[in-house]
Amino acid sequence: MKKGFKPIPGADGWQLANAPILLMAVHKAAIDIFDEAGMEAIVAKSRKLTGYLEFLLKENPDIERMIQIITPFHPQERGAQLSLLIKQEGRKLFNSLTQSGVVADWREPDVIRVAPAPLYNTFEEVFTFSQLLARQVEGLA
């Protein structure tokens, strides 16, 4: 290559022939974990975790009074998350959950998305979340 490299203008100029080795090492580790677990098992656990969360939320009358699950009922249509429509003080509830260590997603104007991750969340953690949510909702009522 001659001295004085001049990249192609625009997005094409950002292309690389070789990806950075440290980024690829991390990517390889992630792929190995997925390979070891197997996508079929990951999807199965994801559906079970999300279904369990749905069951727990629907079993609690306080939660049912304050929250409506707006995610499709069928597991094939909802993926690994539940979108919860909060009927009052949703942002306050979300902030309280966040302060308690819950990692969720806020969607304006009044939706909290909760996504138990099958590779590292447990059924016990889903249960603990449902109990925390029940306490937080009770505090809002």
What does the DSSP 8-state code read for residue 22? Answer: H
Half-sphere exposure in the Cβ direction for 100 (13 Å, CA): 17
CATH number among 1.10.580.10, 2.40.50.140, 3.20.20.70, 3.90.1150.10, domain 38-140 = 3.90.1150.10
Does the reported pTM lie above 0.85?
no
Return per-residue pLDDT of the chain as tens, 141 residues: 678 878 788 888 777 677 888 889 999 999 999 999 999 999 999 999 999 999 999 999 989 899 999 999 998 888 899 999 999 999 999 999 999 999 999 999 999 999 999 999 999 999 999 999 999 998 776
CA distances from 136 to 99, 119, 122 (A): 11, 27, 21
**Could you tell me which residues come within 8 angstroms of residue 72 by beta carbon, excluding any fewer than 6 positions away?**
78
Where in the chain are the domains?
Answer: 38-140
Residue 68's DSSP bridge partners are 85
